[in-house]
Structure 1
Amino acid sequence: MTLVTTKEILEDAYANRYAVGAFGVHNLEIMKAIISGAEAAGVPVILQTTSSTYKYFEMPYLIALANAAAEQSSVPVALHLDHGESLKHVMECLRAGYTSVMIDGSGLPFEDNIKLVKRVVEVSKAVGVPVEAELGTIGGVEDDVVVDETKSVFTDPEMAGRFVHETGIDSFAPAFGTAHGAYREEPKLQFDLLDQIRQATNVPLVMHGASGVSEESVRKAIGLGVSKVNFSTELKDLFAEQLRSYFIEHPAENDPRKYFLPARESLTKLVEKKVRMLQA
């Protein structure tokens, strides 16, 4: 099948209180592992990249690989821009063939954030592509997105309601205690706040920074409207760990077909575990 948008799969997840996994893609091996893990569980999946990742891939290669993966996949696959930094980056992805975009204006003043997001919604919906946006500040590090965790700002439910209503976005990423990157300790998620945001917005919610969040917390968040859950750090950590272990045991090996395989197989199992967890 061809790449699908995130709109239909997230609306179904929101209505039926489960979530779809969105996984950071950094190379072909990781992409194949994500698809294989989703197929093993028989659930839709979202491939996502930041702008730095598609620049690393080079867009024509990334799109060709994503289209090939979707065409051969037995489950629906969407391609999503994560943390789009500007209208320019969004337009690059729309022209290339992304089927979902996020514009991140969370660092802007509230009114400026609304203005930017409304413009992105206007151009994206003209070509049938749904939009995710963020209000509040989700701390941590993800690729080239760096936010001081001590300056994280929780999302205000009343402002969230206005933000979603005025922009017309399809999914909403609130700040309720998660952070990008690795956690030093289990994060203290604000579930009461999340519930208030759900009631104020009534659109699928997105959990950023899910790597390292306990299964219990993820499931509780899904029950409160989270329909898309982002994972990246855990995948990168495991991939690197498997490569290091392989070369310790096989220091003279030079065949990528051999040293990439165990790393990819490990990621496939991790992705399958994660997406099954989301079927709360």
Structure 2
Amino acid sequence: MPLVPLRQQLEAAEAGGYAVGAFNANNMEIVQAIVEAAEEMEAPVIIQASQGAIKYAGLDMITAMVQAVAQKAKVPVTLHLDHGTDYATVVSCIRRGFTSVMFDGSQWPKEENIARTKEIVKIAHAVGVSVEGEIGKIGGVEDDIRVEEREALLTPVSDAIEFYRATGVDALAMAFGTAHGHYKLPPKLAFDRIEAVHRETGAFLVMHGGSGVPDEDVRRGIQLGIRKINIDTELREAFVEELRRQMAEHPREIDPRKLLGPAREAMKAKIKEKMQLFGCAGRAR
């Protein structure tokens, strides 16, 4: 089926009380793993491309790969730009066929972030593309976005509500205790803020830095309004660990397919595990 907008996916998730998994892709094997997992689990899915992935694979290549598999998929697939930080990148993704874009203006003061995000929303909505916005600084590392832990402050509820209402974004990312990359200690999530923002606005909330968040915290976040959960680090770990194992067991193997195939299967297993946790398995029947 054709790629679908993010808002369509999240409206269904809100009605069903689950979250849709958003998985980062960098190459063919990862795209295949994500869609195969979604089909086997009968789950809706979001494939994300970061600015780093676009730089690595090329925008045309990323778009073509996802469109090719989505056309044959029996489940709804969204192609989403993750952490777009500049106007040119966001517009380029919209022009190439992305059905959702994230504009991350969190490096700007609140009023500037609102103004810039509103402009992106105006452009994207004119052509049926969904927009995710971010208010507050989410910690950790996401390609070229680095935020010191001391700066990763929790987003005030009032700021999140103001930003959501002023911009008209389809999905809202805010800082509530998660971080990109590895956690040194288990994260402490501000569930009260998640609950308050969702209760006041009905916003579809996004959990960035979903890798490593305890399962019970993920489930509680979904109950309180999280509708999109980003997973990248755990997928990379599954893929690379299996690739290393294959290379160690078959040091003379020179066929990339025999090394990358098992790595793809290991990643697929991790994705299926997350889909079960998020409650989206079986929702695309």
Identify unmatched segments of 5+ residues in structure 1: none
AA aligned opposite 2:222 = I
Q: Deviations over 1:113-163 (max 9, x none)?
A: 000000000110111101000111100012222111221011111121111
Q: Distance in 1 between matches of 2:162 and 2:61?
A: 39
4+ aligned runs moved over 6 Å, structure 1? none
Q: Deviations over 1:73-104 (max 9, x none)?
A: 11111100010011111101001110000000
1:207-222 to structure 2, matched below 5 A, reads 207-222=207-222
Partner residue in 1 for 2:283: none
Q: Distance in 2 between matches of 1:124 and 1:113?
A: 16
Instruction: Give percent identity, aligned residues only.
Output: 46
Checking the alignment, whether the CA contact within 8 Å between 2:215 and 2:277 is kept in structure 1 is yes
Checking the alignment, whether the CA contact within 8 Å between 1:160 and 1:201 is kept in structure 2 is no
Q: Under a length normalisation based on structure 2, what TM-score does the superposition of the two structures give?
A: 0.96
Q: Distance in 2 between matches of 1:201 and 1:207?
A: 17
Checking the alignment, whether the CA contact within 8 Å between 2:197 and 2:203 is kept in structure 1 is no
SS at match of 2:67: helix
Displacement of 1:15 in angstroms is 2.4
Displacement of 1:51 in angstroms is 1.4
AA aligned opposite 1:128 = G
> How many equivalent residue pairs?
280
Q: Distance in 1 between matches of 2:143 and 2:27?
A: 14
Displacement of 1:68 in angstroms is 0.6
SS at match of 1:153: coil
Q: State whether structure 2 residue 79 is matched by structure 1 residue 76.
A: no
Q: Distance in 1 between matches of 2:250 and 2:105?
A: 46
Q: Under a length normalisation based on structure 1, what TM-score does the superposition of the two structures give?
A: 0.98
AA aligned opposite 1:217 = D
Q: Distance in 2 between matches of 1:23 and 1:178?
A: 16
Displacement of 1:201 in angstroms is 2.6
Checking the alignment, whether the CA contact within 8 Å between 1:141 and 1:180 is kept in structure 2 is yes
Partner residue in 2 for 1:231: 231
Checking the alignment, whether the CA contact within 8 Å between 1:158 and 1:200 is kept in structure 2 is no
1:149-164 to structure 2, matched below 5 A, reads 149-164=149-164
Q: State whether structure 2 residue 96 is matched by structure 1 residue 91.
A: no
Checking the alignment, whether the CA contact within 8 Å between 2:21 and 2:274 is kept in structure 1 is yes
Q: Deviations over 1:47-86 (max 9, x none)?
A: 0011121121112211111111101111111100010011
1:1-280 to structure 2, matched below 5 A, reads 1-279=1-279
